[in-house]
């Protein structure tokens, strides 16, 4: 192919190839145990696969309604009511999306304009800031405090200006595994009350929460709920990240604006998967058992590592565990992660990849959504380092 010779200014200057792609490529080349990217290596429920098959064979293969099939929106409304005792109207306040990433992009595009500021707590999931920039907004990063990844809400308050359009929060938190407390939610609520600031509450790991903790959803806090776009992901909940099916909850006025953009970003998401998930959600056991299921994996992984030189505070949520390697090496995180992959055959993500400007705390993120066999293999490598 001949090279394009024109000059088009970069819309996302300075963004390197994603570290996830880099580490996955490196892991494949070195046949490493891949604990880098956040996806399960065990199968999706055969019952759920059977339901997708059933609906495809029934002919549910054409475009779904733009906001999602009614069956799934009703099922999401019931799930939210059962979990948080909050009513969202399935017709006007719930939209099914092609994963939470699309929902986040759509929400940012719907509300952020040139010159707007958006507060992002970092380390952060990597899609937030580029989406804000593509809309002409600027990001103000507020750092969570290592090693417990707590939030200095006074600093958040200090970063609020006349131009703040939105604050993006994420609990349970990727990559730290930290979980918001009721006090966090109340502090956030106090900051936004009486302002025009919207909140994106990324709650994709709502069902992955451990040690008896309860998920604090933005929908439970009235001053947050009325300005919140809450994101969910069935990819996370049903170990099917490749199906890219998620949803957004928001009050009607905000949801109307969200849908104005959603219809042009994707219009609708996968029809058969939507019907299948709607039916699968009828049995609450299909997701209420997740904390025990994943906590057992976290505990096994940490137990296997107890004699290693890695240090860890157990993740309170998500399927990510941070390991501190400062007793082993003073290499920067990215270099240490590469060394671990090439020399020892195990891949993880440097936590610094989740910051705007690399921060080196000597911690890597390991995904423990893996079979027992993978966890044992990983731990036996890590124990030898
Ligand atoms: C915090 C967070 N938000 C959103 C997503 C994306 O979810 P989905 O796969 O449904 O787009 C992820 C996936 O890694 C995530 O970690």
232 lines ligand 1 (CB under 6 A): no
Distance 124 CA to ligand 1 centre (A): 11
In the chain, where does the domain assigned CATH 3.40.640.10 lie? 46-286
Three-class SS state of 78: helix
pLDDT tens profile 142-160: 999 999 999 999 999 999 9
DSSP 346: E
174 lines ligand 1 (CB under 6 A): yes
- Does position 14 have pLDDT exceeding 90, yes or no? no
Mutate to test the pocket of ligand 1, among 101, 131, 200 (most ligand atoms within 8 A of CB): 101
Q: Can you say how many angstroms the Cα of residue 168 is from the centroid of all Cα atoms in its chain?
A: 12
* 189 vs 195: CA distance, rounded Å: 10
* 11 vs 319: CA distance, rounded Å: 33
As a whole number, mean pLDDT of residues 201-223 equals 98
Sign, CA torsion 12/236/98/68: negative
Which tokens is 95 given?
């939209």
Q: How confident is the model at residue 217 (pLDDT cuts 50, 70, 90)?
A: very high
Distance 289 CA to ligand 1 centre (A): 20
In the chain, where does the domain assigned CATH 3.90.1150.10 lie? 19-44+288-383
Q: Are the CB atoms for 119 and 164 separated by under 8 Å?
A: yes
pLDDT tens profile 274-309: 999 999 999 999 999 999 999 999 999 999 999 999
pLDDT tens profile 64-87: 999 999 999 999 999 999 999 999
From the CA atom positions of the chain, what is the Rg in Å? Answer: 21
The CATH class for the domain spanning 46-286 reads alpha beta
* 232 vs 21: CA distance, rounded Å: 24
In this predicted structure, what is the pLDDT of residue 358? 73
Across 181-270, where does the E strand assignment appear? 198-202, 228-233, 246-249
* 171 vs 145: CA distance, rounded Å: 15
Distance 121 CA to ligand 1 centre (A): 16
Q: Are the CB atoms for 367 and 37 separated by under 8 Å?
A: yes
The CATH number given to 19-44+288-383 is 3.90.1150.10
In this predicted structure, what is the pLDDT of residue 38? 87
Q: How confident is the model at residue 19 (pLDDT cuts 50, 70, 90)?
A: confident
Phi, then psi, of 62 in degrees rounded to 5 = -105, 175
């Amino acid at each position: 192919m001949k090279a394009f010779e024109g000059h088009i200014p970069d819309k996302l200057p300075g963004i390197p190839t994603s570290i996830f792609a880099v580490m996955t490529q490196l892991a494949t080349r070195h046949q490493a145990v891949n604990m880098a990217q956040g996806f399960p290596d065990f199968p999706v429920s055969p019952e759920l696969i059977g339901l997708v098959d059933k609906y495809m064979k029934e002919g549910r293969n054409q475009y779904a309604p733009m906001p999602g099939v009614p069956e799934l929106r009703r099922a999401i409304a019931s799930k939210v009511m059962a979990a948080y005792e909050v009513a969202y109207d399935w017709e006007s306040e719930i939209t099914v999306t092609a994963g939470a990433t699309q929902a986040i992009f759509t929400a940012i595009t719907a509300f952020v304009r040139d010159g707007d500021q958006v507060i992002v707590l970092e380390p952060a999931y990597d899609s937030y800031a580029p989406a804000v920039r593509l809309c002409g907004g600027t990001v103000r990063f507020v750092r969570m405090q290592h090693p417990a990844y707590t939030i200095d809400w006074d600093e958040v308050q200090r970063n609020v200006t006349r131009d703040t359009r939105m604050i993006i929060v994420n609990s349970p938190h990727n990559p730290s595994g930290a979980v918001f407390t009721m006090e966090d939610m109340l502090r956030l609520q106090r900051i936004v009350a009486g302002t025009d600031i919207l909140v994106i509450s990324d709650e994709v790991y709502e069902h992955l929460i451990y040690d008896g903790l309860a998920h604090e959803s933005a929908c439970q806090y009235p001053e947050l709920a009325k300005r919140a776009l809450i994101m969910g992901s069935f990819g996370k909940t049903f170990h099917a990240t490749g199906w890219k099916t998620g949803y957004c909850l928001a009050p009607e006025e905000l949801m109307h604006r969200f849908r104005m953009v959603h219809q042009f970003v994707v219009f609708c998401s996968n029809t058969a998967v939507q019907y299948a998930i709607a039916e699968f959600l009828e049995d609450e056991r299909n997701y209420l058992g997740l904390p025990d299921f994943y906590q057992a994996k976290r505990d096994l992984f940490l137990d296997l590592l107890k004699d290693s030189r890695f240090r860890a505070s157990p993740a309170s949520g998500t399927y990510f565990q941070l390991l501190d390697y400062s007793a082993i090496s003073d290499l920067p995180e990215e270099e240490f992660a590469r060394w671990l992959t090439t020399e020892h055959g195990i891949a993880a993500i440097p936590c610094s990849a989740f910051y705007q400007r690399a921060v080196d705390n000597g911690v890597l993120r390991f995904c423990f959504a893996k079979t027992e066999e993978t966890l044992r293999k990983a731990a036996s490598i890590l124990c030898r380092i």
